[in-house]
Amino acid sequence: MIFLTVKEKIKGALKKFLILTGVSAIGFFISIFLHNIIYGLFIKLFGTNFWDRIGVGDEPFFFILATIICPIAFLVGVIGSIVIFIRKES
C-alpha cells in the first residue's frame, strides 16, 4: 500500500492516511518480531529469571506497540482513507 500510494502520486490527507495504514500493518509484524527477539536475547544474555529480577514480567515496549498502538493507527488510517475517498466521490 505504501509503494502504491507513492507510485500513484496521491497527494494531501489521503496520502497520509494510506501511508499510516500501510506502516501500521507492517509495524505490527515488526513489533511482534522485535518483542520476541529482545525477550529471548535478554534471557540468553542475563539468565532465565532476568525479567522477574527487574520487576517486569515481559518486554513491554514492542508488546504495547504491537497490541495497542499499531491496531489503533491502522483503524485511524482506514477510517480516514474511507472518509476522504467518499468525500472526493461526492
**Domain spans of the chain, in order of start:** 11-89
Take residue 36 and report the three cell numbers written for it.
Answer: 520476541
User: How many CA atoms lie within 13 Å of 30's alpha carbon, on the beta-carbon side?
Assistant: 8
Predicted confidence at residue 7, as pLDDT, reads: 82
Residues 37-86: pLDDT tens digits? Answer: 999 999 999 988 888 888 887 889 999 999 999 999 999 999 999 999 89
State the pLDDT at residue 56: 82
- Grid cell, residue 21, equals 495504514
* Better pLDDT: 21 or 58: 21
Q: Above 90 in pLDDT, residue 22?
A: yes
Q: How far apart are CA 56 and CA 38, in angstroms?
A: 13
Query: Contact, 90 vs 31, CB < 8 A?
Result: no
pTM: 0.83
